[in-house]
Amino acid sequence: MRLINDLRVAMAEKQFSIHYQPIVDLRTGQVHKAEALIRWRHPVEGLVSPADFIPIAEETGMIVELGDWVFREAVKQVAAWRRTHHPQFQVSVNVSPMQFRNEGIDQASWLAHLSAMGVPGQGVLVEITEGLLMDAGHNVSGQLQVFRQAGIGLSLDDFGTGYSSLSYLKKFDIDFLKIDQSFVRNLTTDPDDMALCNVIIVMAHTLGLKVVAEGVETPAQRDLLAAAGCDYGQGYLFARPAPAGEMPFALPMAG
Ligand code: G
Ligand code: G
Ligand code: MN
Ligand code: NA
């Protein structure tokens, strides 16, 4: 496929950028966290979705270089936001399971970059998926441990869609659960989805984890989640992923 070759030049030609989507405190409306989401502006095709090119980057191994770039850019950005907006701002970075294979992540250089930027580990959340936790090889738990020891938080993305046993939540010392948007979409009409969200929130809190609901698009969804005790919301209701300069730092919680 042509995209494979294009992906190789895209790196050199700086065709990638990062959009950020706020992660909103559902009690206060404050925004002290944001998820970094990569964007590719292809010279001919225009904007190509990461859903289309991340799998190619994974298959070709390019995800390692791309992931390094995303991390470095996101850390630069959070350094700026911690100076100008809030000293505890956190940026949440998606890390592909492929990056954990064969020591794809040079963890020492990631930590060195953090300290060069003056950002403590607490400034970063690493978003992983359930599948990664089931990977017994590749010293996944050792690599996650290195992140944890540096203060970096762990967030379990797309929660509820994978097959992980709940015991992994404790074993890997996860900080945040992100309820997959498929459970949020029909929250107002499907009692089963509301029940699942309630159960996830109660279980997470019992284990000392915070919860982020993804794909919040309506005030009704937001209100149900807030009433269920969900800590944070993310979705088009609050803001679409956008360039860093457009980050809203506080959002109204009513109406
Ligand atoms: O941003 P959405 O807009 O289209 O992202 C689509 C998919 O791509 C999501 O599953 C998201 O987690 C993934 N994605 C976005 N940015 C990155 C990134 O920097 N690294 C990895 N590994 N996945 C990403
Ligand atoms: O897999 P991950 O959860 O990292 O990816 C998040 C994806 O969800 C991105 O593609 C992002 O653009 C998208 N997204 C964010 N908010 C909403 C929303 O409110 N509705 C929908 N449909 N997608 C959203
Ligand atoms: Mn994510
Ligand atoms: Na997700």
Query: What is the DSSP annotation of 27-66?
Result: TT-BEEEEEEEEEEEETTTEEE-HHHHHHHHHHHTTHHHH
Q: How far is the CA of 46 from the centre of ligand 1 (A)?
A: 17
Q: How much is the pLDDT for 163?
A: 76
Residue 142 lies in a domain: yes
Q: Identify which ligand lies nearest to the alpha carbon of 234.
A: 2
pLDDT along the chain (255 residues), means of 10: 85 94 97 98 93 94 96 98 97 97 93 98 96 88 96 96 80 94 97 96 95 98 98 98 95 72
Tokens standing for 171? Answer: 């074993």
Q: How far is the CA of 183 from the centre of ligand 4 (A)?
A: 11
Residue 16 lies in a domain: yes
Regarding the beta carbon of 155 and ligand 2, being less than 6 Å apart is answered no
Q: Which of 17, 38, 65, 181 to mutate to test the pocket of ligand 1 (most atoms within 8 A of CB)?
A: 38
Q: Which of 54, 58, 95 to mutate to test the pocket of ligand 1 (most atoms within 8 A of CB)?
A: 54
Residue 253 lies in a domain: no
Q: How far is the CA of 112 from the centre of ligand 2 (A)?
A: 30
CATH label of the domain that carries residue 158: 3.20.20.450
Q: How much is the pLDDT for 1?
A: 61
Contact by Cβ (8 Å): 222, 216? yes
Closest Cα partner for 232 from 173, 172, 175?
A: 175
Residue 102 lies in a domain: yes
156 membership: H or E segment, kind and range: strand 153-159
Range of the domain at 222: 2-242
Regarding the beta carbon of 22 and ligand 2, being less than 6 Å apart is answered no
Residue 24 lies in a domain: yes
Residue 162 lies in a domain: yes
Q: How far is the CA of 48 from the centre of ligand 4 (A)?
A: 19
For ligand 2, what atom is nearest to the CA of residue 129?
1
Q: How much is the pLDDT for 165?
A: 73
Q: How far is the CA of 126 from the centre of ligand 1 (A)?
A: 13
CA-CA distances (angstroms) from residue 88 to 26, 167, 174, 200, 233? Answer: 17, 30, 19, 26, 18
What's the pTM value of the predicted model, to 2 decimals? Answer: 0.97
Contact by Cβ (8 Å): 221, 193? no
Query: What is the DSSP annotation of 207-225?
Result: TT-EEEE----SHHHHHHH
Q: How far is the CA of 20 from the centre of ligand 1 (A)?
A: 11
Residue 254 lies in a domain: no
Q: Give tens-digit pLDDT for 171-226.
A: 899 999 999 999 999 999 999 999 999 999 999 999 999 999 999 999 999 999 99
Q: How much is the pLDDT for 255?
A: 55
Task: Give the separation between CA 119 and CA 47, rounded to whole angstroms.
Answer: 31
Total structural domains in the chain? 1
Residue 185 lies in a domain: yes
Instruction: Collect residues with CB below 5 Å from ion ligand 3.
Output: 94, 127, 157
